[in-house]
Amino acid sequence: MNILMLDLAAEYRELEAELMAAIREVLAAGNFILGPQVAALEREVAEYIGVPHAVAVASGTDALHLVLRAAGVGADDEVVVPAFTFIATAEAVSHAGARPVFADIDPATYNLDPASLEAAITPRTRAVIVVHLYGHTANLELISAICARRGLAMIEDCAQAFGADFAGKSAGAWGEAGCFSFYPTKNLGAYGDGGMVTTGDPVLADRIRMLRHHGSRTAGQHETVGYNSRLDELQAAILRVKLRHVTRWNERRRGHAAAYRRLLAGGPFALPAEHGRGAHVYHQFTIRSAARDAVRKRLAAQGVASAVYYALPLYRQPAYASVRRSVSCPAAEQAAREVLSLPIYPQLTEEAIHHVCNALLSAVPATRA
C-alpha cells in the first residue's frame, strides 16, 4: 500500500463539478484581476475569521511582507520570529528591510515560547510574528499581553492554521493582522499561489490594498513604490468553492489525528500536544523520535511517505548564516533533529492510517526511539 503525504487529486475528484462551474464562470466573465471573485472571497474570509477586513494578495509571504511595510516596519527595526518555522516568516522581515531576531519555541507545542520572546525584545523591537505551527495556535493570551505591555505589533502567521482558534477567537483575529497562505498544500489551498491579510484596522487594510496594486489607490496615481501582489480571479473562485468545505475538512483532519493517537498510544513516539484552549486543525500530524531518520527510512520502505518540517532552525540556514553565532535556541535545535510529519489530509482513509501506524510501530529500532 502506497500512502502519499497529501492527495490533491483525490480532493479534486470530490469537488470536480463545483470547481469546474466556478472556473467556467470566471473564464466566461473575462475579468481576471481584482474583480468580483476576489471581492467576494475577501468578504467571506473576513466573516469566517471574524474580522472587519480581509485583503487578498499573491502569497502568504507577501501577506507578511506587506503587513510589515504597511505597519511602517523597516530599516533599523527588529522583529522577533520563532527560530522553528518556514523561512518565509523571517524572509518577510528581511524584505521589509528589518532584522529578524530568532526566539525559541515551547518544546511541547513547537510554538513561540513567551519567555524566550521576552528575552529577545530590545529597544529596537517593533513587532512580533507569532506562528501557529502545524495548525495549532500559539498561546495568544500570553503573547498578546507581552506585545501590549511592550508596545509591539503582534502579527500572526496563520499560513498553517486556517480555521484554528484560541479561546474561541480565530487565528488571524488576535493580532494587528493575520497572514494566511493559500499555497496548494495548506488546509485551504488554491491551484497556485495566493494569500490573505485579515485585520480589524481599516487604515492598515487600506494601505495593503494600495501596496498590492503598485502603490495605487486611484487609477494612474502611484503614491508609493508598491508591488504587484494580487490574487487572481480564478484562484479566488476556486478558493470560494473550497471555503465551503474547509470546516468539514478540518474536522476530518481532527478525526484522523484522534485515530493516530489511539493507534500510537503507549508506543515510543511523542505525539503532538494540544493545549486545550482551541481547535488544532492538524495541517500536520507531527510526532517526534530520537531515531527519526531511521524511522523515516523504514516507513519509506513500506510505501509510507513522511516529511521533516523543519530540518534546521532558521538561523542555521545558509541564508541567515550572519546571525548564527549570536543565537542559541535549544528547543528548536532538538525539534529539528526529532520531528516527523505523517500523512494527514481529509481524504486519507482509516485503512491507510492503520497501515501507517503498523509501519511505524514495526519501524521502531531495537534501542527504542
Ligand X SMILES: *Cc1c(COP(=O)(O)O)cnc(C)c1O
Contact residues toward ligand X (CB under 6 A) are: 59-61, 85-86, 88-89, 131, 157, 159-160, 181, 183, 193, 195
For residue 6, the minimal CB distance to ligand X (Å) is 13
C-beta neighbour count of 350 within 10 angstroms: 11
Please give the helix or strand (H or E) that residue 100 lies within, else none: strand 99-103
Yes or no: say if 277 and 295 are a contact pair by the CB < 8 Å rule.
Answer: no
Shortest reach from residue 132's CB to ligand X, in Å:
8
Q: What is the largest CA-CA distance in the chain?
A: 69
Nearer CB in complex with ligand X: 136/355: 136
Question: How near is the Cβ of 121 to ligand X at its closest, in Å?
Answer: 21
DSSP 257-314: HHHHHHHHTTSSSBPPP--SSS----S-EEEE-TTHHHHHHHHHHTTB--B-TTSS-G
- Compute, in degrees rounded to 10, the torsion defined by CA atoms 185, 136, 5, 196: 0
Is the CB of 183 or the CB of 282 nearer to ligand X?
Answer: 183
Dist. CA 25–CA 82, nearest whole Å = 42
Please say which residue, 48 or 183, places its beta carbon nearer to ligand X.
Answer: 183
Shortest spacing between CB 211 and ligand X, in angstroms: 16
**CB nearer to ligand X: pick between 59 and 306:** 59
Do residues 164 and 137 make contact, with C-beta atoms less than 8 angstroms apart? Answer: yes
Which residue number has the CB closest to ligand X? 60
CB of 61 to ligand X, least distance (A): 3
> Which CB sits closer to ligand X, 171 or 353?
171
84, HSE (Cβ side, Cα atoms, 13 Å): 31
Q: Are strands 125-131 and 153-157 parallel, antiparallel or unpaired?
A: parallel
CB of 6 or CB of 159, closer to ligand X: 159
C-beta closer to ligand X: residue 70 or 295: 70
Q: What is the nearest approach in angstroms of ligand X to the Cβ of residue 305?
A: 18
Query: Is 51 in a helix, a strand, or coil?
Result: coil
To which H or E segment does residue 345 belong?
A: none
DSSP letter string over 202-262? HHHHHHHHHHHBTT-SBTTB-SS---B---BHHHHHHHHHHHTTHHHHHHHHHHHHHHHHH
Residue 57 has phi, psi (to 5 degrees) of: -135, -175
Q: How far is the CB of 84 from ligand X (least distance, A)?
A: 10
Return the residue matching grid coordinates 481599516. 202
CB of 11 to ligand X, least distance (A): 18
The smaller minimum CB distance to ligand X, of residues 88 and 205, is found at 88
To ligand X, the closest distance from the beta carbon of 143 in angstroms equals 16
* 189 vs 131: CA distance, rounded Å: 18
Kindly report whether the peptide bond that precedes residue 310 is cis, defined as omega within 30 degrees of 0: yes
Q: Which is nearer to ligand X, 157 or 264 (CB)?
A: 157
